[in-house]
Structure 1
Amino acid sequence: MATAGDLYVSSYMPYTCACPPSRIHVLAEPKPLYCESSPTSVIGGRALLTKYGYPSERLLRLAEPKKFLPAFLEKRARESPEWPVSLAAQNYNPSKRILELAQPKGLHPDFVPPREVPAQISSFAIKASASARIQKLAEPLVKELTCCTRHNAPGSVISMVSRSPRKVVASPRTIELAKPRQLPSNFKPPRDAEWPVSEAAKRAVATPRLLELSQPTSRFRMGLTALNPDAFRVKEAALKAVCSQRLHELAQPVRR
């Protein structure tokens, strides 16, 4: 009959003298960088993939970048996001204030960068042997594809279509309702953030009324600088006032 001490020794022995299995070595390998080492990631050369073979024509067409519409290219003011800088802007001499504002914001003097956390692995963990339960939990989870099914399950997204709906001919009313909604006749697309200014607007002279309306709204300051020290001063006439009998009566607290 095995005693408690024998069970303790037998359960402790695999963690002291056994070596890690091949599964632990496989999980300990770093993930390879396919973008640098794999030569089969090029789609244009029609290279043979590992699992899926050659990409189809549909995948190659979807992999192409989206092209601009001709109407957009005609209305675009510039051909690229970069535009030439004028000589006046290149030879401009910035002031001290602009140079001061151009300096990047420095770090706080009390800022401490994040420290690296050293991961120290004990010798027991290095020599440990994974049990059958741990190896079972280390296996990848295999999920069933539930988005496409042949049965009309309540949770299915795509189901098989019978032959009778395929042979249905749409009526004129259905075709009319299937058309997308058209834009109104007076619809105007959003204007670009940058548009040319006319010469008349550049030479325009503002009227006195426009100058008056362009002035910012003046509001009273509410800070300590606008504090009125005489706000709570009592007038001399109020100090010499005599309270009437009615005021004495109204000044009495309400008794409950």
Structure 2
Amino acid sequence: MNARSGMSRGKKLAVAALAAIVASALPGPVSAVADTGRDHPEHWGVITRNTVGSPVAALRNGPFGSFGVQGSSARPAYGRGSLGIEVGDSGEKVDFGNEVDFYGDPVLGLTKVGFHVFQTGENVASGGAENMPGIRFEIDPNVSAHPGDNYSSLVWVPDAAPVTDRWSPFIDATSTGYWYLTGNETACTQAAECTFAQVKASLDDGGEKPTIHSAAVGKGRDHMWIGAVDGLRVNRTVYDFEADGVRAHRAG
């Protein structure tokens, strides 16, 4: 026993090891305080209503690599895990998200959205450089011109990933790619792509404000895609996908 500290050398090593594990689980620009008011891992999962065929969206460890890749791009952005997505063909679709914690939040209150992605060369060969997963908010658009319409999907389609066969840096959905609404409630349709600012402005028509039903990361129905996503950000919260659950961290 160390008389000065009252702690054995073995116990000190155990404490140091535990601290190292905790620190390694929180890389990146996030606070060590996980409780953001949205830390409910049990609320995350495959949204069955929005899943077609037999795709996979599952929390996993890694991916690490690809082979020969080192540094920050060789590991998930946060912790050790990610959300693995496998969509086999154009008939399949999957959304992995949360139907509880975002319900009733203001669409116009969205200010920061995006994620990190593990894109592969095979995905690009299958569907082109913009063959990517996206972010989908189910919303009540509350557009005055369509008073009986209380459902639409607000969808972000990313640009091509900046890198392949490794983890990307954060991809900002508020400044890259395009957005659209699925129900033709405004001029922002899949055929008439809008910026983030434009789609929000199209929903702000002076009447009742649009609200969120759910938030999700998804893929389909277009091309095969097999990869992973981590560090989904919605405003000031980063969702860290780990094999044992989804952790919410305050963004730096």
**Which band: TM-score by shorter chain?**
under 0.3
Q: Higher helix fraction: Structure 1 or Structure 2?
A: 1
With structure 2 as the length reference, what TM-score do the two structures score? 0.18
Q: Higher strand fraction: Structure 1 or Structure 2?
A: 2
With structure 1 as the length reference, what TM-score do the two structures score? 0.17
Which structure is richer in relative contact order (CA contacts within 8 A, separation 6 or more)?
Answer: 2
